[in-house]
């Protein structure tokens, strides 16, 4: 009897969802991004940080409960904002795969590659992650707010000689992100904004430090539905 009860309960839940949620349509969203990125390294009482404006692109493909997301941006010049940091160029490519068993909850895995180049050398970050995303309409499906939280699996990173020479591996890495998306019903347009904060705690010793990366983004584009 238990399988039948579970099946009946699932059918009841699905029948209570809005028709829009039941008929998960296929949708492709393409957008351009303008953002402000900031990178900071903290060691004891010393803090170095850089910040700069960047441009990029976002693509999201929804295939029923499966969501594929890719984004990237390039910062031509990130200038020092604290400490003895050097001017640097930076960029990031990021991919996410999500599965949403119900419309407002998605389980996600992701991978990002971020790189910085300066007179001190070249720094490359490879960042695997896993977590969840919660998205809810704000009274009207036109306005959707979301929060995302990911755990970052420890990875070795190459540190330029001008900072702390050698390889280092963080002990704990976390991502927190929040955003708002507006999708007017009578047009295929979309606009939105998001803020993402990443924190990396490295072990003690010569390479012991805390690093943070955050980016504030606004974007606009189109939706293609089927």
Q: Note the pLDDT tens digit of each residue in 11-61.
A: 444 444 444 444 457 999 999 999 999 988 887 777 888 899 999 999 999
Residues in the chain: 226
* Pairwise pLDDT comparison (9 vs 137), residue with the higher score: 137
Asked if residue 2 is part of any domain, the answer here is no
Q: At a CB cut-off of 8 Å and minimum separation 6, what does 84 contact?
A: 48
Give percent above pLDDT 90 in the chain.
52
Tell me the sheet residues that pair with 220.
Answer: 32, 191
Asked if residue 164 is part of any domain, the answer here is yes
Q: Please determine, for residue 97, whether its predicted confidence score (pLDDT) is greater than 90.
A: yes
Asked if residue 212 is part of any domain, the answer here is yes
The confidence band for 167, taking pLDDT boundaries of 50, 70 and 90, is: low
The confidence band for 83, taking pLDDT boundaries of 50, 70 and 90, is: low
Asked if residue 213 is part of any domain, the answer here is yes
Tell me which of 83-97, 113-127, 153-167 is least confident. Answer: 153-167
| Beta carbons of 223 and 191 less than 8 angstroms apart | no
Q: Please determine, for residue 85, whether its predicted confidence score (pLDDT) is greater than 90.
A: no
pLDDT of amino acid 166: 47
DSSP 202: P
Asked if residue 7 is part of any domain, the answer here is no
pTM comes to 0.81
The SS3 call for residue 12 is helix
Residue owning tokens 């969501």: 67
Asked if residue 79 is part of any domain, the answer here is yes
Asked if residue 54 is part of any domain, the answer here is yes
Residue owning tokens 């990029």: 56
Distance CA 102, CA 81 (A): 43
pLDDT of amino acid 84: 58
Give me the number of domains the chain comprises: 1
The confidence band for 8, taking pLDDT boundaries of 50, 70 and 90, is: very low
Asked if residue 66 is part of any domain, the answer here is yes
**CA 195 to mean position of chain CA atoms:** 9
Nearest residue to 150 via CA among 182, 111, 191:
111
Distance CA 176, CA 174 (A): 7
Distance CA 37, CA 208 (A): 23
Q: What is the CATH number of the domain that holds 94?
A: 2.40.128.100
Domain containing 153: what range?
Answer: 25-225
pLDDT of amino acid 159: 53
The confidence band for 202, taking pLDDT boundaries of 50, 70 and 90, is: confident
């Amino acid at each position: 009897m238990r399988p039948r009860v579970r099946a009946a309960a699932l059918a009841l839940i699905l029948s209570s969802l809005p028709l829009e949620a039941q008929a998960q349509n296929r949708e492709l969203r393409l957008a351009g991004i303008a953002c402000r990125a900031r990178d900071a390294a903290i060691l004891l009482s010393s803090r170095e940080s850089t910040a700069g404006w960047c441009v990029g692109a976002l693509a999201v493909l929804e295939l029923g409960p499966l969501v594929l997301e890719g984004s990237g941006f390039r910062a031509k010049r990130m200038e020092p904002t604290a400490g003895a940091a050097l001017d640097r160029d930076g960029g990031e490519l990021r991919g996410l795969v999500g599965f949403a068993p119900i419309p407002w909850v998605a389980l996600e895995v992701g991978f990002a590659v971020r790189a910085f180049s300066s007179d001190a050398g070249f720094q490359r970050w490879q960042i695997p992650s896993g977590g969840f995303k919660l998205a809810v309409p704000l009274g009207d499906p036109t306005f959707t707010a979301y929060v995302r939280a990911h755990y970052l699996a420890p990875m070795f990173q190459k540190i330029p000689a001008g900072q702390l020479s050698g390889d280092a591996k963080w002990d704990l890495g976390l991502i927190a992100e929040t955003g708002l998306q507006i999708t007017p019903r009578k047009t295929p347009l979309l606009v939105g904004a998001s803020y993402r904060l990443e924190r990396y705690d490295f072990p003690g010793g010569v390479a012991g430090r805390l690093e943070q990366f955050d980016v504030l983004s606004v974007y606009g584009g189109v939706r293609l539905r089927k």
